[in-house]
């Protein structure tokens, strides 16, 4: 009998252990639950402003959508929840700047978490390093979105006052500081490194 056929049948298998080291991980279940929390918080913030009466059937529908998002995360389900938040903001009374800032952050967290959770099973463990890939770009987008949200709220409420302009300037300055402080991605190796 040849050595290859013996190996295929299980004989003469080399006893080599392979060790794979990973960094800190988070279970896929936690990602799914986090997506549900972000969605629920976004819906609560959106419906916290005065506006048209909320139909109980709509509350049940949104709860079912959040449950579906946790059970089987998909970008489409996250998008429908974001659409529901956007529609409520559009038909409700104007939100305050803290509420708008919270919604911008929550929607961003929801969509980012759903994107990771959709690729991870219930028992999958996802490395924190994987979740942190692109963190610099994500933070920069978030700062830009917060600046635009502050401008939108300022324009919606009787035009920008001095406090609004200071808030927008502070957010812009925070973005500039983050550009300098956060590590940049090295395109040649795909690894993050500190600036020299």
pLDDT at 193 over 70: no
- Local structure of 4: helix, strand or coil: helix
Which has the minimum average pLDDT: 6-15, 31-40, 149-158? Answer: 6-15
For 8, other C-beta atoms within 10 Å of its C-beta total: 11
pLDDT at 26: 92
Q: Name which of 101, 184, 169, 65 is nearest 135 in CA terms.
A: 184
Q: Categorize the per-residue pLDDT at 42 as very low, low, confident or very high, splitting at 50, 70 and 90.
A: very high
Burial 129-164, CB ≥16 within 10 A → b, else e: eeeeeeebeebeebbebbbebbbebbeeeeebeeeb
pLDDT digits (tens, 9 = 90+) for 95-148: 888 898 899 999 999 989 999 999 988 888 999 888 888 777 888 788 888 887
Q: From CA 115, how far away is CA 136, in angstroms rounded?
A: 17
């Amino acid at each position: 009998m040849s050595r290859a056929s013996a190996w295929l049948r299980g004989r003469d298998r080399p006893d080599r252990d392979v060790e794979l080291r990973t960094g800190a991980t988070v279970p896929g279940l936690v990602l799914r639950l986090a997506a549900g929390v972000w969605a629920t918080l976004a819906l609560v913030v959106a419906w916290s402003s005065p506006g048209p009466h909320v139909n109980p059937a709509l509350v049940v529908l949104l709860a079912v959508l959040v449950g579906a998002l946790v059970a089987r995360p998909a970008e489409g389900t996250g998008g429908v929840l974001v659409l529901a938040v956007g529609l409520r903001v559009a038909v409700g009374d104007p939100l305050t700047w803290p509420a708008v800032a919270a919604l911008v952050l929550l929607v961003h967290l929801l969509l980012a978490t759903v994107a990771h959770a959709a690729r991870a099973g219930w028992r999958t463990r996802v490395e924190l390093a994987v979740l942190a890939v692109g963190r610099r770009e994500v933070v920069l987008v978030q700062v830009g979105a917060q600046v635009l949200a502050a401008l939108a709220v300022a324009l919606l409420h009787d035009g920008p006052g001095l406090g609004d302009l200071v808030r927008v300037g502070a957010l812009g300055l925070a973005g500039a500081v983050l550009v300098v402080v956060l590590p940049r991605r090295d395109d040649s190796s795909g690894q993050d490194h500190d600036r020299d």
